[in-house]
Structure 1
């Protein structure tokens, strides 16, 4: 994860994960929406990195994203170099 816990401005952050099943992805999406109902979150499980995207306009705490994954037994890693 980045050293910074908070990011500002309209952004899309992209994460690689070890989530491979849709039912697990649905559970993480639901839990993510509890923390950030105003943000758009989605998975691309067809991608080789099992991508998790978060689109937001204000601030997001990346540690919360990491916590949601870890408490469900999954790994998540911010992809540093991606195009929005």
Structure 2
């Protein structure tokens, strides 16, 4: 099995908002490992597992959050 780690830049600014987004992602994709790094200037969302980054971005944007995939 091939596991990927996708890293996204967001405009999430609080732990409460991050928790809601994480809960939403895990509701739709329970097999993923999801975490936020709000100490980073880009308010990083990391997602580990098998998933299309576009699916994550669509889901998060439905919550009114700006999100963009960070490329290497």
TM-score normalised per structure 1: 0.78
1:61 has 2:52 as partner: yes
Residue by residue, what CA displacement relative to the aligned partner does 1:13-56 show, whole Å, maximum 9, x if unpaired? 10010101111100000000011111100000000000000011
Give the greater-gyration-radius structure (CA).
1
Count of equivalent residues: 72
Instruction: Find the residue that maps to 1:14 and give its secondary structure.
Output: strand
Aligned to 2:43: 50
Where does structure 2 lack aligned partners over 5 or more consecutive residues? none
Q: What is the alpha-carbon distance in structure 1 between the residues aligned to residue 54 and residue 70 of structure 2?
A: 15
1:33 has 2:23 as partner: no
Where does structure 1 lack aligned partners over 5 or more consecutive residues? 1-7
